[in-house]
């Protein structure tokens, strides 16, 4: 026969369990967490390398929780690439201390076999790239995988898209901007709209 104390303890355990369940239902996981997990599964953590020789993961290190401006380029390009990089360089001047804190620039090479970290460091120096502007390369298969996830993979490097992709991983807002018709001012307006998105 159960003692009164046993019954009382059982009732307390049931009340605690029901209270925990109620709290869990009242406080479901934030939508941001679900959005981040979905983005993680899509982009994956394919490894890449920066102009400084640092190994980074596509989602966890470059995209997660960040507002980013993405473009594709190659260091030996004499056509659109210098113009597009020039727009980012001008925007960098306007953003100043916000770059690398509130906003990140991610420039992906479409020619990873040529664009070693050393080559990208030289290119970054020519663009006066500061902290928060990363130039990315790595194993060709990894780079091509990342480019494909970003809608930037091309068969020939000369055919790369001249777009800026401005994204806010926290809210899931992504915008495409024609790079060749952009100015630092016009791109800044798009970046601010994405940065201030509340989801």
> Where are the chain's structural domains?
44-195
pLDDT the model gives residue 102: 94
The residues facing 105 across adjacent strands are 69, 133
17, pLDDT greater than 90: no
* Per-residue pLDDT tens over the stretch 100-133: 999 999 999 999 999 999 999 999 999 999 999 9
Q: Which residue has the higher pLDDT, 188 or 13?
A: 188
Q: Give residue 25's pLDDT band: very low, low, confident or very high (50, 70, 90).
A: very low
Q: Report whether CATH 3.30.70.20 matches the domain 44-195.
A: no
* Per-residue pLDDT tens over the stretch 134-160: 999 999 999 999 999 999 999 899 889
Please check whether residue 114 is in contact with residue 74, taking contact to mean a CB–CB distance below 8 angstroms.
Answer: yes
pLDDT the model gives residue 32: 62
Q: Which residue has the higher pLDDT, 68 or 28?
A: 68
Q: Give residue 11's pLDDT band: very low, low, confident or very high (50, 70, 90).
A: very low
Q: Which residue has the higher pLDDT, 87 or 31?
A: 87
């Amino acid at each position: 026969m159960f003692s009164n104390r046993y019954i009382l303890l059982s009732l307390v355990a049931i009340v605690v369990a029901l209270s925990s369940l109620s709290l869990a239902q009242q406080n479901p996981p934030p939508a941001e967490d679900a959005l981040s997990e979905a983005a993680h599964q899509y982009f994956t953590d394919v490894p890449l390398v920066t102009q400084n020789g640092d190994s980074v993961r596509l989602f966890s290190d470059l995209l997660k929780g960040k507002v980013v401006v993405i473009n594709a380029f190659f260091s030996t390009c004499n056509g659109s690439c210098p113009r597009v990089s020039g727009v980012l360089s001008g925007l960098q001047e306007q953003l100043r201390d916000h770059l690398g804190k509130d906003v990140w620039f991610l420039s992906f090479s479409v020619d990873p076999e040529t664009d070693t970290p050393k080559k990208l460091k030289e290119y970054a120096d020519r663009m006066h790239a500061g902290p928060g502007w990363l130039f990315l390369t790595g194993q060709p298969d990894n780079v091509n995988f990342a480019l494909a996830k970003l809608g930037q993979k091309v068969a020939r490097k000369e055919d790369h898209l001249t777009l800026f992709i401005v994204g806010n991983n926290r809210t899931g807002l992504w915008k495409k901007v024609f790079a060749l018709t952009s100015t630092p001012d016009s791109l800044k307006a798009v970046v601010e709209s994405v940065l201030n998105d509340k989801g």
